[in-house]
């Protein structure tokens, strides 16, 4: 309760500061405050099934930006959530990344940034650092915690997580839109003392990555971009050290669990005309290359991609395509090599002002060349969609009709899994909308889906109707939708969904919104499931 009161007080404080600045606008021009705040309270109730969400959740987000003398910018972020349900984790994060002039950015608290494709990019760090970019010169350095410790749970078999700290540094020169180069260094290490480990615990890691990324612009039409990196990765920081190699501990400590490998990528872009372009890409990541600066970066791969694009008839017809192939088992140290082909073709044609046509085709193939014939894998996934669209004036407004047919096919050549994996799906979709000048909008949707498998066939029919309208000089917005789903697999089931949305604008004082949705599910058969779920939320948003 105290945290909720504190959060409300903070919002009121920001509002008071804003009012002072507004009243003294002529006196205080050196300091400007802007930002937004959002408060929400959600409720949930179910009967017939176990609850899938918390019964009540409060959430708040404050984003503020303080500008000093139009030179220094101080952005602040504050998050709050009361969620305590299952996999959900309550979070309280605060970060500030002030931007001083147009060449210096500082980081403190929680923040995100990206250095290069092979070093650091998709993690949120709690720490500090700076990004210095005067002219074409660049110098960046950050340090902080990238992972919090999590004790192991031997009941649910949830693995432990070590506390992990990292630092990143980058220096470079040149225009990022033309020709440039950067030298990057990333280091991360697990704190082996952060959790109570035993013989079943995973081992702590250490990682050092150095890379060089660059871009070269050849004239106006050709550009080349790439990166090359080397990774040193220790599977167990507790392994015996290699005394023959002397490296400062702050940089890296090699031991008998350390592996060394490299990675490289190269992209060539050719744009000789506004009517066509071509991109050629290649990437190599060795099986021992690891970077803890990206959560899910794959390794042990080599791929090549070609992506042409064509524009015709004054950009009314756009054609995009891409084809690529990827291999693994680069060192031939696995029992099998897997190859993957990916192809895509997309066409967008605006025939005239009232009609258009979209078409898409995708093909993905995976083949494993296992020495044992019965264990070979050969899977082919392909999909096709065709979408004609029309718009015209009638019934006192603008009418839009979209029709879509799509086909998906999965073919599995493995003798053991073929019976369960082979399937094909046909889907028909119809969407009609009418928008009238008086702000009334009506939308009708219908969809039929049929999936055929070797043992099971399923059919799904969906229908929904939605209406929206604005009242009180557009201050009050409302929308109502009703939907029904009829599913036939082994037994028949029905689902009915109701949703009501409304929001009222108080102008500069913000917007108050409310929505409620009800999901009713009914199933026939020997094991019938009947349940009902009610979910809603009230939200307040304000910008200052």
Q: What is the pLDDT of residues 189-211, one digit of tens each?
A: 999 888 887 777 789 999 999 99
- Pairing label, strands 338-352, 317-327: antiparallel
Residues 335, 243: Cα–Cα separation, whole Å: 34
Residues facing 380 on adjacent strands:
365, 411
Percent of residues, the chain, with pLDDT higher than 70: 86
Q: Kindly give, in sequence order, each residue whose CB lies less than 8 Å from that of residue 504, ignoring residues fewer than 6 positions away.
A: 472, 475, 476, 477, 511, 512, 513
User: Do 330 and 302 contact (CB within 8 A), yes or no?
Assistant: yes
Residue 421, SS3? Answer: helix
103-117, 191-205, 232-246, 439-453, range with greatest mean pLDDT? 439-453
Q: What are all long-range contacts of 366-370, with beta carbons under 8 Å and residues at least 24 apart? A: 366/338, 366/339, 366/340, 367/338, 367/339, 367/340, 368/336, 368/337, 368/338, 369/336, 369/337, 369/338, 369/339, 370/335, 370/336
Q: Which residue has the tokens 């599977």?
A: 235
A 10 A CB-CB count for 352 gives 7
User: In residues, how long is the chain?
Assistant: 544
Residues 60, 262: Cα–Cα separation, whole Å: 44
Residue 21, SS3? Answer: helix
Residues 137, 475: Cα–Cα separation, whole Å: 49
Q: What is the mean pLDDT of residues 60-64?
A: 83
pLDDT in tens, 507-518: 889 999 999 999
Alpha-carbon 53 to chain mean position:
22
Q: What is the mean pLDDT of residues 415-424?
A: 70
Q: How confident is the model at residue 375 (pLDDT cuts 50, 70, 90)?
A: low
Q: Could you give phi then psi for residue 531, rounded to 5 degrees?
A: -150, 165
Residues 510, 348: Cα–Cα separation, whole Å: 40
Q: What is the mean pLDDT of residues 443-464?
A: 91
Tell me which residue of 348, 279, 346 sits closest to 312, measured CA to CA: 348
Q: How confident is the model at residue 410 (pLDDT cuts 50, 70, 90)?
A: confident
Higher-confidence position of 421 and 102: 102
Residues 272, 285: Cα–Cα separation, whole Å: 31
Residue 396 falls in which region: left (phi positive, over 0), alpha (psi -120 to 50) or beta: left
252-261: string of b/e by CB count within 10 Å (b at 16+)? bbbbebbeeb
Q: What is the mean pLDDT of residues 63-74?
A: 70
Residues facing 404 on adjacent strands:
429
Q: Could you give phi then psi for residue 42, rounded to 5 degrees?
A: -110, 150
Q: Kindly give, in sequence order, each residue whose CB lies less than 8 Å from that of residue 64, ignoring residues fewer than 6 positions away.
A: 14, 33, 34, 35, 75, 76
Of 148-157, 406-415, 482-491, 517-526, give the lowest mean pLDDT range: 148-157
DSSP secondary structure string for all residues of 213-272? EEEEEETTTEEEEEEEEEEEEES-TTSPB-TTS---TTT---BTTEEEEEEEEEEEEEEE
């Amino acid at each position: 309760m105290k945290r909720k009161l504190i959060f409300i007080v903070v919002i009121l404080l920001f509002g008071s500061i804003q009012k002072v600045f507004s009243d003294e606008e002529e006196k205080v021009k050196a300091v400007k405050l802007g930002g937004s705040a959002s408060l929400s309270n959600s409720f949930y109730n179910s009967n017939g099934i176990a609850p899938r969400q918390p019964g009540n959740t409060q959430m708040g987000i404050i984003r503020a930006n303080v500008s000093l003398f139009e030179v220094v910018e101080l952005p602040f972020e504050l998050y709050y959530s009361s969620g305590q349900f299952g996999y959900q984790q309550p979070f309280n994060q605060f970060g500030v990344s002030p931007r001083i002039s147009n060449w210096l950015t500082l980081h403190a608290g929680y923040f995100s940034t990206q250095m290069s494709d092979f070093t650091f990019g998709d993690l949120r760090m709690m720490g500090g650092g700076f990004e210095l970019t005067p002219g074409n010169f660049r110098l960046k350095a950050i340090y902080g915690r990238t992972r919090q410790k999590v004790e192991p749970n031997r009941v649910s078999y949830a693995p432990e997580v070590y506390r992990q700290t990292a630092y990143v540094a980058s220096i470079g020169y040149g225009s990022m839109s033309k020709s440039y180069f950067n030298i990057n260094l990333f280091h991360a290490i697990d704190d082996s003392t952060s959790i109570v480990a035993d013989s079943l615990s995973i081992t702590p890691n250490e990682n050092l990555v150095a890379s060089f990324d660059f871009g070269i612009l050849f004239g106006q039409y050709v550009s080349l971009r790439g990166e090359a990196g080397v990774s040193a990765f220790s599977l167990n920081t507790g392994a015996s050290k290699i005394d023959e190699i002397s490296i400062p501990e702050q940089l890296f400590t090699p031991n008998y669990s350390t592996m060394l490998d490299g990675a490289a990528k190269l992209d060539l872009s050719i744009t000789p005309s506004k009517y066509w372009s071509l991109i050629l890409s290649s990437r190599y990541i060795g099986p021992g290359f690891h970077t803890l600066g990206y959560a899910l970066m794959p390794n042990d791969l080599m791929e090549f991609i070609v992506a042409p694009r064509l524009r015709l008839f004054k950009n009314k017809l756009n054609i995009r395509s891409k084809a690529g192939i990827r291999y693994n088992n680069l060192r031939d140290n696995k029992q099998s090599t897997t190859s993957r082909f990916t192809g895509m073709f997309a066409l967008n044609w605006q025939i005239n002002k009232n009609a258009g046509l979209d078409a898409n085709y995708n093909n993905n193939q995976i083949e494993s060349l296992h020495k044992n014939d019965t264990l070979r894998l050969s899977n082919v996934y392909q999909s096709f969609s065709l979408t004609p669209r029309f718009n015209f004036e009638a019934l006192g407004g603008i009418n839009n009709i979209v029709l879509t047919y799509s086909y998906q096919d999965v073919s599995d050549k493995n003798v053991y899994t073929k019976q369960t994996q082979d399937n094909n799906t046909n889907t028909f979709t119809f969407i009609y909308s009418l928008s009238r000048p008086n702000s009334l909008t009506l939308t009708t949707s219908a969809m039929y889906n049929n999936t055929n498998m070797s043992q099971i066939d399923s059919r799904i029919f969906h229908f929904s109707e939605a209406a929206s309208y604005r009242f009180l000089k557009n201050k009050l917005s409302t929308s109502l939708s009703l939907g029904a789903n009829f599913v036939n697999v082994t037994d028949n089931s029905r689902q009915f969904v109701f949703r009501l949305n409304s929001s009222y604008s108080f102008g500069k004082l913000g917007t108050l919104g409310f929505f409620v949705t009800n999901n009713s599910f009914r199933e026939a058969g020997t094991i019938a499931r009947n349940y009902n779920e009610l979910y809603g939320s009230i939200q307040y948003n304000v910008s200052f």
